[in-house]
A and B are shown apart, each in its own frame.
Chain A
């Protein structure tokens, strides 16, 4: 059995999950912190 499709699938799933998690956390943080800034002004 060729293992490479399995290896690439595993790395792909992890990379996709990381990108989603980082992206969503970053956006939520920026939005909330910017809203605080806007209120202060």
Chain B
């Protein structure tokens, strides 16, 4: 992991994160604007669900980042436990909040889509229930990590929780395959997509756009936490 270890030094990390933050943010917002415009005006409606298919362009990226956020927590937790990476605890805490927000957005946009298409806002099927569980895991993790940081913990306890929560990710992904659910099966798999190209293409724009914005938010939150740490260290030295 030489690349990760080069970032272990907060000063070196900041020298990369500072210029990268606005680049990710503006590139992401630009892609989102183009993707949303294309998804709202250029693409055809679906043969069965009609216009409501357009919600896909915000729902799928939310689901992807809701799950991707937990993957981020798990990777950071792993490198904290194994390599004691000095930025890992901060990275995990920076990812958690946007991850939770995207998990919530996935549930909300899915519910809004469900009403006109399925005829219900919410059903306790395997996919919806497991995604709701992930959202609750985020809330619990954020609370735990905050308590740990306030007590001056080294982040190991939230890291163990972060790794354990990973078990939910394959359950969410395969819930629609293992069980009969109201939610449709996976459209995009390694073998290809069952979404017609004319409907699919803006999804790549919004997916990339949301991911870049997610990255910018994580960098901003990490920078804030690093500055806060510096501030507190300085205060302690001045008080001593």
Contact = CB atoms under 8 A, between A and B. Distances in A.
Interface of A: 1, 3-4, 6-7, 9-11, 13-14, 17-18, 21-22, 25-26, 28-29, 31-33, 35-36, 39
A4 B221 contact: no
Contact of B58 (A1, A10, A36): A10
B82 to A, nearest CB: 28
Interface in B58-87: 58-59, 62
Given A3-B52, A18-B213, A21-B217, A11 B58 contact: yes
Contacts of A6: 52, 55, 112-113, 115-116
B159 interface: no
Interface majority SS (helix, strand, loop, mixed), chain B: helix
A11 B220 CA distance: 24
Q: Max chain B CB contacts within 10 Å: which of A1, A9, A21? A: A21
B228 interface: yes
A4 to B, nearest CB: 6
Given A14-B105, A14-B109, A22-B217, A32 B224 contact: yes
Given A4-B51, A6-B52, A6-B115, A13 B227 contact: no
Query: How large, as a class, is the contact surface on chain B?
Result: 35 or more
B203 to A, nearest CB: 14
Given A3-B50, A13-B112, 12 more contacts: A3-B116, A7-B51, A11-B55, A13-B109, A14-B109, A17-B101, A17-B105, A22-B220, A29-B227, A36-B227, A36-B231, A39-B234
Contacts of B231: 32, 35-36, 39
A33 B92 CA distance: 20
A35 B227 contact: yes
A1 B213 contact: no
Given A6-B52, A6-B112, A6-B116, A21 B101 contact: yes
B93 interface: no
A40 B125 CA distance: 56
B180 interface: no
